[in-house]
Amino acid sequence: MKVLVTGANGYIGRHVVHALLQQGHQVLAADVNLDGMSDEVQKITADVFDFRPGLFQRMGEPDVCIHLAWRDGFKHNSDAHMANLSSHYQFIRQMTDEGLKHISIMGTMHEVGYWEGEIDENTPCNPMSMYGIAKDALRRAVFSAYAQKDTVIQWLRAYYIFGDDGEKSNSIFGKLIRAANEGKKTFPFTSGKNKYDFISVQELGEMIARASTQDEVRGIINCCSGKPVSLGEQVEWFIKENGLDIRLEYGVFPDRQYDSPAVWGSAEKIRKIMAV
């Protein structure tokens, strides 16, 4: 298939592109900066928010679009989330109006807000950050607009991502690496007791690629492990796995008010997809 990936050179996008190439697809990679992107892809530097007529053609007329592009994903209360919301919706509408038949859109468990237990596609959403609010609004708008249309719509809901955490990463794992490289011996931390659904960015990339290039399973698809693990346990594992000479200083920061004691995704749909 000919697959367009927006945000292709981002943290998740690089791994989605790699997985698509491994699966034998033709990849159209769109991003504001494509430095270091594989020569195996067709590089598209056109602005995805350039809404002149012909957007679908400028994007290479793909069979499928995986829409990952999103500013400030790790900054949950950035003004960019709401500022760009209508542009993301307009991108989706114009692409499908001009010929796109299948689109997969990156979601987040932060759409749900505070929830204890397993999250499935019917779990009610009450987001508590600007990031979650914007993603929730986009999902609702898209599902409402396409309820009576033949377009294949998939909402790929991600959970807690780790891996590929270099010094530029804004995740807690990237911050740990920076602190260790600066010679710090302790790292201020929360209680570490909250349990989350962790997934490596490499595995997430493969899930996104596989889910987006089939059309039997649609709607909200949790890209997750389906298993809750405590934050402390996961971070201690990361420290050991990477040989970092640093220890966690528990209890310095309070747990975020919108984080549940234990939350994880239902993996039923993604397991069905990955098993094919």
> Among all residues, which ones are annotated catalytic?
131
3-state secondary structure at position 70:
coil
Kindly give the residue spans of alpha helices, DSSP state H, lying in the chain.
Answer: 13-22, 55-58, 80-83, 85-97, 130-145, 172-181, 201-212, 231-241, 268-275
Pairing of the two strands 263-265 and 195-200: unpaired
Pairing of the two strands 247-249 and 186-188: parallel
3-state secondary structure at position 142:
helix
186 vs 177: CA distance, rounded Å: 12
